[in-house]
Amino acid sequence: MKIWDGFHLSILTWNLYMGVELPPLFTSTRDQIPNLVSKVYRQFLATNLPIRVKAIAREIARKKPDLIGLQEAVRWQLIIPNYRKVTYDFVQLLLIELKKSGLDYEVAIQNKNTSVELPDSNGNFVRLLDRDVILVRKGYRLKINKRMAKHFKTNLIVQIAGQQIEILRGWSSIDIQLEGQSIRMINTHLDTNSDIQVQQAKEILEGPAKTKLPLIVTGDLNSNAHNDDAPTYRSFIKGGFQDAWEESGNGIGNTCCQDPDLLNNASNLTSRIDFVLFKNGLESIRAETVGDKPNSRSYSGLWPSDHAGVFSKLQLKK
């Protein structure tokens, strides 16, 4: 492996928060759906995505990462029959705000995960698309050689209005070239159910992570590194991965979770479930959390997300 003294790569992972908790829908009857959908959509509006995205872009602009792994980069749509669709596209709004800061990013690849459309109590429909996305600084020393994306075979099944709905999740990856060195980055958001997330992690470890390339995994694993009984996190460590926070972070590094309305005064982050993991010749020389300081909040007082992001600077071992 060729080594460059000045080789470094900066990474940010961040769960952006779709703006509302969805579990109340998962046990609903058909008659309950319209009122619940209206309640969920109003809660989404209250967490003010267009305002939050400005705070998120401001945090990203402070770090200027080469690569960004995003989770819950959702698209909401209010469909008003015979009139129009009102769209809130997290990715497009974020790219616009970053450009205003002088930063030009592009979508390298994305997972289009769960998509659902349901009626509200006002005669409209609400559509939600969940996505995980990798952003790359446009025209900035990185060349993308390969892109891959796949849904997991094992996913949570829930009941909505008496129908079984699969909560699709997956992984996406890119192979990039930096100063002649090929590197793979994988981004994912695993399920909250421990048994399911273990299987999803196994699919990654036996799939795109089976490579000799310098390798980075970013994402929300929903597995708390503070717990000794965190089988998903431990499976990555047993698979040879190192944790950027363990290597070069200061403090406990908690990343989850603020209150669902994002209005809690003191930060409520009590678990560490968001990670930059790496192996095959890389090392972390810096790791920080972002979006968890008082000055990270939006001008309306909202936290940027219910998660903190994790920023790391990596280099090839000398």
- 165-191 confidence digits (pLDDT tens): 899 999 999 999 887 889 999 999 999
- 16-31 confidence digits (pLDDT tens): 999 998 877 777 778 8
Question: Of 15 and 317, which is predicted with more confidence?
Answer: 15
- 128-161 confidence digits (pLDDT tens): 999 999 999 987 678 899 999 999 999 999 887 7
Residue 2 has pLDDT above 60, yes or no: no
pLDDT at position 140 is 67
Average pLDDT over residues 63-71: 96
pLDDT-derived band at 247, boundaries 50, 70, 90: very high
> How far is 99 from 101, CA to CA, in rounded Å?
5
C-alpha distances out from residue 179 to 76, 134, 141, 176, 288, Å: 39, 20, 8, 10, 25
Percent of the chain with pLDDT over 90: 84
pLDDT at position 158 is 87
Domains by residue range for the chain, with CATH: 9-316 (3.60.10.10)
pLDDT at position 120 is 94
- 184-223 confidence digits (pLDDT tens): 999 999 999 999 999 999 999 999 999 999 999 999 999 9
pLDDT-derived band at 121, boundaries 50, 70, 90: very high
pLDDT-derived band at 35, boundaries 50, 70, 90: very high
pLDDT at position 159 is 81
Average pLDDT over residues 245-260: 96
Its pTM stands at 0.94
Residue 6 has pLDDT above 70, yes or no: no
Tell which residue, 24, 76, 81, 14, has the closest CA to residue 48: 76
pLDDT at position 4 is 41
